[in-house]
Structure 1
Amino acid sequence: MAGIEVVVHVPQESGEDLDELLDVTGWLRDEFLALDVQDVRPVQATTAPDGAKGVGAIAGWLAVQLASVEGVRAVIELARGWAGQRRREVEITIGGDTLKLSGASAGEQERIIDAWIARHAPGS
């Protein structure tokens, strides 16, 4: 089975400079590497996702490689906890389908996450 690539985007906050965003994204990358993932790397300018404008804009983007869809939930849960602790928004994308983690109650987020993961399960 081919691996799954999950793209994680940490949007730059108002007043945050590029170095701060790189630091924050680096900390999140380190946390992802502690999970059962194949690789976590910054998105390169040559493969920048839709919506990324300029080199500075891709500073908050990470590509997480997973062996299977089962690891997606762990990535989402880590990102959700990380975003909640820091009061930041995090976006997770698979194949152009983006899940935004912020602003919803825990129960609402859980339902949204379940439906989003179901769309990416084998056979869906």
Structure 2
Amino acid sequence: MEQLRIEVQDFERSGQDVESLLLELDGLREDLLQLDVQDVGRPSAGPAPPGTRSSALEQVNALLVTLTAVPALLLQVVTVVKNWRGRAADSAPSGIVLTLGDQRLEISGGDAEQQRVLTAMWIEACTAREERGASSD
């Protein structure tokens, strides 16, 4: 099983607006749970390093998706994330970053065809990585 991190970028919010971000991410979480994923949760912030403030608020903008079958689910997850971002047009973040292992995809505004090509390349790289890992087991 692999964990895919979905992180909302440039969502600078005041303490009062954190609640709306949490509600929006809860909606995305529910959408993702409709897929054949193992789990969708929030990352653990863990204890703050000595002399620093808690990083709990830094984790409010992320979800962790536990995937049972990486190649089969990646396109579905990306589609759900893009649809969610499209529905939140007025309050949509400027970017969403998906990270699986060392592979990173940023979904942002811009040319739809370029986003489609980058998404396909990312899925291919993640799939190749998964296949290499399976063959070394």
TM range (shorter): 0.7 to 0.9
Runs (5+) with no aligned partner, structure 2: 48-53
SS of residue matched to 2:60: helix
Aligned-partner residue type, residue 98 of structure 1: R
State whether structure 2 residue 110 is matched by structure 1 residue 112. Answer: no
- Whether the aligned pair in 2 keeps the contact of 1:92 and 1:99 (CA below 8 Å) is yes
The count of residues paired between Structure 1 and Structure 2 equals 117
Q: Which residue of 2 aligns with 1:45?
A: 45
User: Would the aligned equivalents of 1:83 and 1:101 in 2 still touch at CA under 8 Å?
Assistant: no
Matched, 1:23 2:23: yes
* TM-align CA RMSD: 2.0
Aligned to 1:73: 75
CA separation in 1, counterparts of 2:100 and 2:62? 13
- For residue 8 of structure 1, what is the aligned residue in structure 2? 6
Gaps of 5+ in 1: 48-52
Task: Give the Cα separation in 1 of the matches to 2:79 and 2:59.
Answer: 23
Whole-angstrom CA distance in 1 between matches of 2:26 and 2:5: 14
Whole-Å separation in 2 of the counterparts to 1:111 and 1:85: 22
Report the TM-score when normalising by structure 2.
0.76
Partner of 1:123: 132
Question: Which protein has the larger Cα radius of gyration, Structure 1 or Structure 2?
Answer: 2
Aligned to 1:57: 58
CA distance in 2, matches of 1:68, 1:35: 11
Identity of aligned residues (%): 26
Report how far residue 105 of structure 1 moved: 2.1
TM-score (norm 1): 0.83
Residues 36-68 of structure 1: CA distance to partner in whole angstroms, max 9, x if unpaired? 111001111129xxxxx8110101111101111
Runs of 4+ in 1 over 4 A off after TM superposition: none
Cα deviation 1:12-35 (Å, max 9, x = unaligned): 523452211111111111111111
Q: Which amino acid aligns with 1:123?
A: R
> How far has the Cα of 1:80 moved from its partner?
1.2
